[in-house]
């Protein structure tokens, strides 16, 4: 049941650095933040899945052998009055036949029905998806009102040598084994084990049950919570770096009187060096306790 206003207070025993937003550089300054994003918190220490390297090359992914992940309502574009749109999904490669693109509420729905990469939709709309790269395009044939949200549901599978820890580093010069993540509203700061800071923000944080920064109701037990982020900074090796990806978790409960928690916390993304390597980010963190406080508007 949704109450008029709920605030999720998340706590964990860790000392983390606070950050601000940047674009290809560390530093800058953000003096304000929106508490609309504080209905959930992804702060914590994330380490390589299975105890291996956190930012790896693409030869293998430690601890994640053929694991399938679901993404729901990923915001992939905001309409600007045109009829045709394109972009790249946050995660890839995606599973064939899994993609559904929705335009607005009750509007166009396009799907990869045959798994051929061709998207078919209602009212004559069509499009294409490259499941390997996550690149997509749609043509709705008619203009769409500016501000209309275009979202995607899909699944993707991470493959590799599960638990081997044998992946090579996906960074130039200095290996990364852990990230300390601090979230304040929409702002996010990531500090690697070499002491370098990467700063940016969340594009959206939403749950499979419909909670997001605009609808801050408490997620139900079993809901997946997904935050899309982008941060940037300079690595210890001196490369300008951008990271894009998702922070995810599943809402759980220990039973009557024991409260709620965010479990199965994962960090997935892509490490992109300006003039250097591109790596694969696969991290995990311990569950985070959630206490719900009810307030009256």
Domain count, the chain: 2
CA distances from 84 to 10, 81, 127, 146, 212 (A): 41, 9, 9, 13, 26
Residue with the bigger pLDDT between 212 and 31: it is: 212
Residue 258 pLDDT exceeds 80? no
What domain range includes position 138?
68-158
Q: Which of 9-13, 99-103, 255-259, 267-271 has the lowest mean pLDDT?
A: 9-13
Q: State both tokens at 268.
A: 């997935």
Q: How many CB atoms lie within 10 A of CB 164?
A: 14
In this structure, the answer to whether residues 39 and 116 fall within a common structural domain is no
In this structure, the answer to whether residues 49 and 166 fall within a common structural domain is yes
Out of 138, 158, 178, a domain closes at 158
Residue with the bigger pLDDT between 242 and 72: it is: 242
Q: Which residues pair with 231 in a beta bridge?
A: 200, 243
In this structure, the answer to whether residues 112 and 253 fall within a common structural domain is no
Max distance between CA atoms of the chain, in angstroms, equals: 54
pLDDT, position 240: 95
Out of 158, 192, 214, a domain closes at 158
CA distances from 59 to 157, 159, 166, 268, 279 (A): 15, 10, 9, 16, 10
Answer whether residue 297 is part of any domain.
Answer: no
pLDDT, position 287: 86
What's the pTM value of the predicted model, to 2 decimals? 0.56
pLDDT, position 254: 65
């Amino acid at each position: 049941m949704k109450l008029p206003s709920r605030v999720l207070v998340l706590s964990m025993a860790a000392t983390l650095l606070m950050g601000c937003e940047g674009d290809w550089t560390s530093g800058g300054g953000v003096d304000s933040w929106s508490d609309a994003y504080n209905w959930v918190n992804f702060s914590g220490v994330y380490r390589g899945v299975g105890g291996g390297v956190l930012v790896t090359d693409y030869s293998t992914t430690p601890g994640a052998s053929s694991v399938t992940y679901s993404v729901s309502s990923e915001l992939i574009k905001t309409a600007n009055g045109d009829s045709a749109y394109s972009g790249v999904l946050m995660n890839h490669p995606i599973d064939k036949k899994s993609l559904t693109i929705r335009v607005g509420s009750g509007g166009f729905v396009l799907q990869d029905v045959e798994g051929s990469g061709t998207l078919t939709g209602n009212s004559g709309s069509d499009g294409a998806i490259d499941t390997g790269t996550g690149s997509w395009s749609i043509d709705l044939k008619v203009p769409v009102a500016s501000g209309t949200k275009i979202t995607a549901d899909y699944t993707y599978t991470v493959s590799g040598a599960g638990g081997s820890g044998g992946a090579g580093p996906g960074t130039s010069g200095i290996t990364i084994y852990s990230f300390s993540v601090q979230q304040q509203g929409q702002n996010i700061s990531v500090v690697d084990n070499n002491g370098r800071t990467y700063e940016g923000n969340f594009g959206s944080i939403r749950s499979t049950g419909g909670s997001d920064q605009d609808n801050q109701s408490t997620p139900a037990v079993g809901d997946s919570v997904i935050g899309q982020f982008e941060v940037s900074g300079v690595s210890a090796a001196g490369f300008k770096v951008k990271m894009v990806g998702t922070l995810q978790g599943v809402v759980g409960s220990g039973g009557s009187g024991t409260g709620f928690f965010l479990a199965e916390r994962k960090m997935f993304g892509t490490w992109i060096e300006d003039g250097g390597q591109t790596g694969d980010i696969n991290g995990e963190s311990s569950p985070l306790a959630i206490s719900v406080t009810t307030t009256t508007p």
